[in-house]
């Protein structure tokens, strides 16, 4: 005798329509798998208060798709060459934001750095041809004594907690061959707290988007405590292979950001997988 189990959906037509409006407001395609994954994710929770909070967070969600990278990189590059590099500085070293221990691994910074080699970036380099541009890695910078007329530009698509960026900068400065003021960080999206940490070290940061913590940045007092309790409860409902140390994302960064890949700084309710079925996938993949 066989038993057939039918999964009961709890999400109502009202929330299907609310999600559609969210997608229209955010400029996302509601006739897509992303829309389906959003609806499946809301079906995880048992009450409308949690669904409303998820939609509220989603309104502030920043999704930078890979096809948007060239425009963002062009914007950041133009800003750096026009405002951060003086005419006296003869050469500019451009390198992905990676420590020595990460050199063997492909990182998102490699994708951004690769985009500098062609497309519209070529036109920008031609505009500022007084400088010599060196595409390199941290190893080159550590093995070479840079003069005060040289600049280092560390490139990435996203900076969340700022831990990696600070570790790389400390590595460069500890070599005693590079000064902090010679370093500029170029990034598409940076979290506000990471920006402040780098600014406190005297490092200039050029970005396309600066993002605020998704919960602490918008709520205070009793409402903040209520939202923190809710996000923990919502996260506890999602169990699977994905591991995360906090319902607020890595290092409690509270990002509401997805790039080519979704960083683990982003709230896990947006990327963590529930179970093994396709319906359990988070809206944004990691």
**What is the C-alpha to C-alpha distance for residues 95 and 252, in angstroms, rounded to an integer?**
28
CB atoms within 10 A of CB 84: 16
Give the tens place of pLDDT for each residue, 162-198: 999 999 999 888 887 788 999 999 999 999 999 999 9
* Residue 169 burial class via C-beta count within 10 angstroms: exposed 0-12, middle 13-18, buried 19 and up: buried
**What is the C-alpha to C-alpha distance for residues 91 and 125, in angstroms, rounded to an integer?**
12
CB atoms within 10 A of CB 114: 14
User: What parts of the chain have a pLDDT lower than 50?
Assistant: 1-7
First to last CA, the chain: 40
pLDDT at position 3: 44
**What is the C-alpha to C-alpha distance for residues 253 and 256, in angstroms, rounded to an integer?**
9
**What is the C-alpha to C-alpha distance for residues 115 and 94, in angstroms, rounded to an integer?**
12
pLDDT at position 244: 65
CB atoms within 10 A of CB 232: 12
pLDDT at position 170: 93
Give the tens place of pLDDT for each residue, 257-285: 999 999 999 999 999 988 776 667 899 98
The size of the chain, in residues, is 286
Nearest of 18, 21, 15, 6 to residue 46 by alpha carbon? 15
């Amino acid at each position: 005798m066989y038993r057939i189990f039918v999964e009961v959906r709890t999400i109502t037509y009202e929330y299907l329509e609310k999600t559609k409006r969210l997608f229209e407001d955010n400029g996302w395609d509601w006739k897509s798998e992303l829309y389906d994954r959003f609806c499946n994710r809301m079906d995880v929770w048992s009450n409308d208060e949690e669904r409303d909070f998820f939609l509220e967070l989603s309104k502030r969600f920043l999704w930078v798709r890979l096809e948007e990278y060239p425009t963002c990189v062009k914007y950041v590059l133009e800003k750096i060459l026009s405002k951060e590099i003086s005419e006296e500085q003869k050469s500019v070293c451009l390198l992905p934001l990676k420590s020595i221990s990460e050199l063997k691994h492909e990182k998102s910074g490699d994708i951004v750095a690769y985009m500098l080699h062609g497309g519209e970036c070529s036109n920008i380099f031609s505009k500022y041809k007084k400088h010599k541009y060196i595409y390199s890695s941290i190893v080159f910078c550590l093995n070479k004594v840079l003069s005060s007329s040289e600049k280092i530009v560390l490139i990435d698509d996203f900076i969340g907690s700022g831990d990696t960026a600070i570790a790389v900068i400390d590595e460069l400065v500890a070599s005693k061959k590079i000064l902090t003021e010679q370093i500029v960080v170029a990034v598409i999206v940076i979290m506000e707290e990471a920006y402040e940490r780098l600014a406190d070290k005297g490092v200039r940061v050029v970005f396309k988007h600066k993002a605020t913590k998704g919960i602490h940045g918008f709520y205070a007092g009793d409402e903040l405590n209520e939202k923190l309790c809710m996000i923990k409860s919502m996260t506890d409902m999602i169990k699977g292979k994905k591991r995360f140390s906090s319902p607020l994302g890595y290092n409690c960064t509270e990002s509401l950001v997805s790039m080519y890949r979704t960083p683990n700084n982003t709230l896990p309710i947006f990327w963590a997988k529930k179970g093994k079925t396709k319906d359990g996938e988070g809206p944004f993949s990691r």
